[in-house]
Amino acid sequence: MRALLVLCLVFLACAAAAYAQVPASPAELERRETAIAAELRCLVCQNQSIAESNADLARDLRQQIREQLKAGKSDAEIRDFMTARYGDFVLYRPPLKAGTVLLWFGPFALLGLGALIAARIVRTRRSSVALSDADRARAAELLGRGREDGA
């Protein structure tokens, strides 16, 4: 029974692998093109992706993506093609490396620093509640007087 199940799974896996080899449909290619273009920054109009931009360069780059997809290139290969020419700057999701560590972890480091400072302030406030003998005497006097007045 178990052997049969394993056999079934193996066939299924083979079928899936074969499916992956089938050339992608035009609709699938278009979906991938849009997905890649949406993650690339247009360098002429820096606040738009090349999917949104109507700039000449963006159109050329979309054309380039389309051609490379048709030629069977993977998404990663196309992204590499773009970064080799325009640098990591074209990626809206920059890769994690030495130069971008601050970009990725800077906000968390600042948050940690803030939490540390907040914790310190809270701790010093709590300990400053400690009263000296003179304070206590004065407090007792004031409180005592209050009670007398109220009585």
Binding site for another protein (CB under 8 A): 43-44, 46, 56-57, 60-61, 64, 83-89, 117, 120, 124
Closest CB to another protein among residues 31, 123? 123
Nearest distance in Å: CB 138, another protein: 25
In Å, what is the CA distance from 110 to each residue of 96, 101, 132? 18, 13, 38
By beta-carbon proximity to another protein, the closer residue of 59 and 138 is: 59
In 3-state terms, the chain is what percent helix, strand and coil (to 5)?
A: 75, 5, 25
Q: How many CA atoms are closer than 13 Å to the CA of 14, on its beta-carbon side? A: 6
CB of 33 to another protein, least distance (A): 17
In the complex, the smallest distance separating the C-beta of residue 54 from another protein, rounded to whole angstroms, is: 15
Specify the residue, 14 or 117, whose C-beta has the smaller distance to another protein: 117
For residue 70, what are the β-bridge partners?
none
Q: Least distance from C-beta 73 to another protein, angstroms? A: 15
Please tell me the distance from the alpha carbon of residue 50 to that of residue 60, in angstroms, as a whole number.
Answer: 9
Which is closer to another protein, CB of 21 or CB of 128?
128
Q: Tell me the Ramachandran region of residue 132: left when phi exceeds 0, alpha when psi lies from -120 to 50, beta otherwise.
A: beta
Neighbours of 61 (CB within 10 A): 25
Instruction: CB nearer to another protein: give 13 or 113.
Output: 113
**Least spacing, CB of residue 17 vs another protein, in Å:** 34
